[in-house]
């Protein structure tokens, strides 16, 4: 995975002044666009689109400082107007092109990234791979913003608004794994951009043959493979660390990639005040194609 992401960074560098087809790049690397965007964001702390914008504006700063026409600069870096490139320039550097021409700055450069995998062996991830037939998730859903660290107050408010008797009813409905009340995140931005919206569902899993009761939101989940990460410790810190570790350690070391679909958290045990918990994090995955099979596929096409 680290090799593929470094190749992607090289492709970005060669496309600062032209259109970048992420779908084609991902296909060439033998992985999905979804996985490529999620892993890039998780490992670098920024969406791929943001990195591309920062690099373009870093290089464009030299053209601006040398007095190039703003419209020509806009066209060179894929923007439709001088106003559009001016907005992008200000958002990256915190100053306008006119400020840079007049004062030489300030400029906030984005260096070219280079990813390296550091293997320490100090953390063992308790993981299992499981195949599941199609099932459905049922419960109460809401659109909420994505928050990377700490408790998400929007999710907290959504769950707090559910009466205790409704939570007990939901828990009794579950008929399949993952068991118990589930915290489900669906329709997550592939770039994993903080502040972007996702669908959060608080509910349970039903087998495909069980009809969802009236009045509940439903997410249909197709058959597939799942990576299940078991965590114990401070809540939600240990769970959020598992998300980060899956990207930084597990996926780069294993022949699996994320596929589109909901991620689910099953709470197995918890303290009364929810300060600590044992959880299972379920993530939808699929095998990564080998370089040889990818080459054969392209040769046939």
- Measure the CA angle with vertex 180, ends 177 and 182; round to 5°: 90
User: For the residues 215-222, what does the mean pLDDT come to?
Assistant: 96
What confidence tens digit (pLDDT) does each residue in 84-127 have?
888 888 888 888 888 888 877 678 888 888 887 655 444 556 89
> Is the backbone of residue 105 left (phi > 0), alpha (psi -120 to 50) or beta?
left
Bridge partners of residue 276, in order along the sequence: 234
List phi, psi (to 5°) of 234.
-60, 140
Q: For residues 149 and 200, what is the distance between their CA atoms, to the nearest angstrom? A: 16
In the chain, which residue ranges form alpha helices assigned H by DSSP? 2-14, 22-29, 33-44, 48-65, 70-76, 82-93, 97-103, 153-160, 164-173, 237-245, 251-253, 291-300
Query: Is-contact 52 60, C-beta < 8 A?
Result: no
Closest by CA position to 229, among listed 191, 201, 261, 268: 268
Closest by CA position to 119, among listed 1, 243, 249: 249
- Residue 296: pLDDT above 50? no
pTM of the model: 0.74
Closest by CA position to 129, among listed 291, 256, 275: 256
What confidence tens digit (pLDDT) does each residue in 234-284 have?
998 888 888 888 887 888 778 899 999 999 999 999 998 889 999 999 999
- β-pair type (197-207, 224-234): unpaired
Q: What is the SS3 assignment for 220?
A: strand
């Amino acid at each position: 995975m680290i090799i593929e992401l470094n190749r992607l960074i090289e492709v970005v560098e060669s496309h600062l002044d032209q259109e970048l087809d992420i779908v084609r790049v991902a296909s060439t690397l033998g992985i999905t666009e979804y996985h490529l965007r999620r892993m890039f964001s998780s490992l670098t702390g920024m969406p791929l689109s943001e990195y591309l914008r920062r690099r373009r504006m870093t290089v464009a700063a030299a053209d601006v400082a040398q007095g190039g026409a703003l419209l020509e600069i806009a066209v060179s870096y894929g923007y439709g107007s001088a106003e559009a490139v001016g907005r992008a320039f200000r958002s990256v550097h915190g100053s306008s092109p006119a400020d840079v021409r007049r004062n030489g700055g300030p400029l906030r450069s984005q260096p070219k990234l280079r990813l390296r995998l550091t293997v320490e062996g100090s953390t063992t991830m308790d993981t299992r791979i499981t195949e599941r037939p199609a099932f459905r998730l049922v419960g109460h859903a809401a659109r909420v913003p994505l928050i990377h660290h700490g408790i998400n107050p929007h999710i907290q408010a959504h769950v707090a608004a559910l009466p205790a008797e409704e939570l007990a009813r939901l828990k009794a409905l579950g008929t399949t794994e993952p068991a118990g009340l589930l915290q489900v995140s669906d329709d997550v931005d592939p770039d994993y951009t903080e502040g972007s919206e996702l669908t959060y569902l608080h509910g349970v899993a039903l087998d495909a043959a069980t009809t969802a009761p009236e009045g509940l939101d439903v997410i249909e989940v197709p058959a597939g493979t799942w990576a299940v990460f078991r965590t114990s410790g401070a809540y939600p810190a240990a769970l959020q660390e598992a998300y980060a570790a899956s990207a930084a350690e597990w996926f780069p070391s294993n022949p699996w990639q994320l596929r589109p679909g909901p991620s689910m958290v099953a709470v197995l045990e918890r303290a009364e005040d929810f300060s600590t918990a044992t959880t299972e994090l379920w993530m939808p995955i699929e095998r990564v194609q080998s370089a040889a099979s990818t080459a054969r596929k392209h040769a046939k096409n």
